[in-house]
Copies of this chain bind each other. A is one copy, B any other.
Amino acid sequence: MLRCAVVGATGYTGMELIKILLRHSGVAIAALTTRQQESIPVHQLIPNLVCKTDLVIRPYTVQELNQAADVVFLCLPHTEAMESAAQFRRAGKTVIDLSADLRLRDAKTYERWYGEKHTQPVLLKHAVYGLPEVNRKRIAQADLIANPGCYPTAAILALYPLVQQKLVDLESIIIDAKSGVSGAGKKAKASTHFCEVTENFSAYKVNSHQHTPEIEQCLSGAAGRKMRVTFTPHLLPLERGILATVYAKRKPSVSPQRILDAFAKSYKNEPFIRLHPKGSFPSLRHVRYTNYCDLGIEADSRSKQVIVIGAIDNLIKGASGQAVQNMNIRFDFPEEEGLN
């Protein structure tokens, strides 16, 4: 049994991770940590957890964790995760970091978008971006995996075949994305107050969301050249899910059918990508509580725009499910283990 630790287990991604790991036949949960002083039984944090469990979330010392676990999932706020990752790497642990700290290869870019000093720039060279559909081979070898952001997961999966196969004008890419409130985390804020959210909808961080460089870095890699995207996030009055509607101008020489073929071929063997048939499009209900990314493609629009709609559960494929998918790849478990 692979021994797993979840560091920072009381937030939304930590809670989802616990639920998934409890269903996984090849792992044991070795430690669940919190910085709060009192310990919290898992069944109290997640009361509708039907699997009986006696697990308790409590403070741990680094030494305890190093003895207890083989793989460490970091569900920490950004800036805290980088320090923690360095520490566990030094102890030889495999680290899967769910924060944003290790996703950008360039510390300067991180500092510009996150407004914080990056104290572990050396780690950035070793971290592998954990998007299996793009990076599966490298993930299988990685000891430091930077688990993608929720918006980037949905956006990149909706765009990757188009960009990598150069089927669209790279200057034309627009990502209009809509997220549920759990994406904002568990902490109470004015912006997550029920009365502020219900019967409301708005864009936020227009042209300035910190997931922008992560999307651009991954797509630039696919395109083989630097590229920029327009990314507008919106807040939906619902709990979980991201739906990204992406637009890209089809190149004149590329037929609509070739677009469809590109998706079919790229994602043929992907266990967690579901392509909708022509004329059908994803709904958040189709993906919630699953690790699927559903994609619907309109390649033949009146205006030559290719429209791709991607839907994920932001806490599963957009966070904890994908983290386990990465662990499965790294430790040679069946890729779907624990995820259905």
Query: Chain A: residues with CB nearer than 8 A to chain B?
Result: 12, 47-48, 50-52, 171-174, 176, 178, 181-182, 186, 188-190, 192-204, 206-207, 212, 228-230, 232, 234, 236-241, 243, 245, 247, 249, 281-292, 294, 296, 298, 300-305, 307, 309, 311, 339-340
Decide if A48 touches B290 in the complex (CB within 8 Å). yes
Select from chain B the residue with minimum beta-carbon distance to A287.
B48
Decide if A290 touches B50 in the complex (CB within 8 Å). yes
Which residue from B182, B192, B199 sits with its C-beta under 8 Å from A285? B199
Please measure, in the bound complex, the distance between the C-alpha atom of A231 and the C-alpha atom of B166, giving whole angstroms.
24
Q: Give 28 A-B contacts (CB < 8 Å), ordered by A residue.
A: A12-B195, A47-B283, A47-B285, A48-B285, A48-B292, A50-B340, A51-B340, A172-B249, A174-B247, A176-B176, A176-B245, A181-B195, A182-B195, A188-B188, A188-B192, A192-B195, A194-B194, A194-B197, A194-B237, A198-B239, A199-B241, A201-B241, A203-B281, A206-B296, A206-B307, A230-B307, A237-B237, A237-B238
Q: Which residues of B contact A289 (CB under 8 A)?
A: 48
Which residue from B48, B204, B237, B288 sits with its C-beta under 8 Å from A48? B288
Q: Which residues of B contact A287 (CB under 8 A)?
A: 48
How many copies the complex holds: the figure is 4
Q: Which residues of B contact A298 (CB under 8 A)?
A: 206-207
- 13 new A-B contacts at CB < 8 Å, known A198-B238, A212-B302: A171-B303, A181-B195, A181-B198, A194-B196, A198-B239, A199-B288, A200-B238, A201-B236, A202-B243, A202-B309, A202-B311, A207-B307, A230-B307
Q: Which residues of B contact A292 (CB under 8 A)?
A: 48, 50
Select from chain B the residue with minimum beta-carbon distance to A43.
B274
Please measure, in the bound complex, the distance between the C-alpha atom of A311 and the C-alpha atom of B182, giving whole angstroms.
24
Decide if A206 touches B281 in the complex (CB within 8 Å). yes
Q: Which residues of B contact A284 (CB under 8 A)?
A: 199-202
Select from chain B the residue with minimum beta-carbon distance to A241.
B201
Please measure, in the bound complex, the distance between the C-alpha atom of A159 and the C-alpha atom of B236, giving whole angstroms.
24
Decide if B232 touches A307 in the complex (CB within 8 Å). yes
- How far, in Å, is A309 (CB) from chain B's closest CB? 5
Please measure, in the bound complex, the distance between the C-alpha atom of A243 and the C-alpha atom of B203, giving whole angstroms.
9
Q: Which residues of B contact A239 (CB under 8 A)?
A: 194-195, 198-199
Q: Which residues of B contact A307 (CB under 8 A)?
A: 206-207, 230, 232
Select from chain B the residue with minimum beta-carbon distance to A216.
B302
Decide if B301 touches A207 in the complex (CB within 8 Å). yes
- How far, in Å, is A259 (CB) from chain B's closest CB? 13
Please measure, in the bound complex, the distance between the C-alpha atom of A201 and the C-alpha atom of B238, giving whole angstroms.
9
Decide if B238 touches A303 in the complex (CB within 8 Å). no
With A48-B289, A50-B339 given, is the CB distance from A303 to B203 under 8 Å?
no
Decide if B302 touches A207 in the complex (CB within 8 Å). yes
Q: Which residues of B contact A229 (CB under 8 A)?
A: 303
Q: Which residues of B contact A291 (CB under 8 A)?
A: 50
Decide if B245 touches A202 in the complex (CB within 8 Å). no
Decide if B206 touches A309 in the complex (CB within 8 Å). yes
Please measure, in the bound complex, the distance between the C-alpha atom of A303 and the C-alpha atom of B226, giving whole angstroms.
12
Decide if B194 touches A181 in the complex (CB within 8 Å). yes
Please measure, in the bound complex, the distance between the C-alpha atom of A298 and the C-alpha atom of B233, giving whole angstroms.
13
Decide if B243 touches A201 in the complex (CB within 8 Å). yes
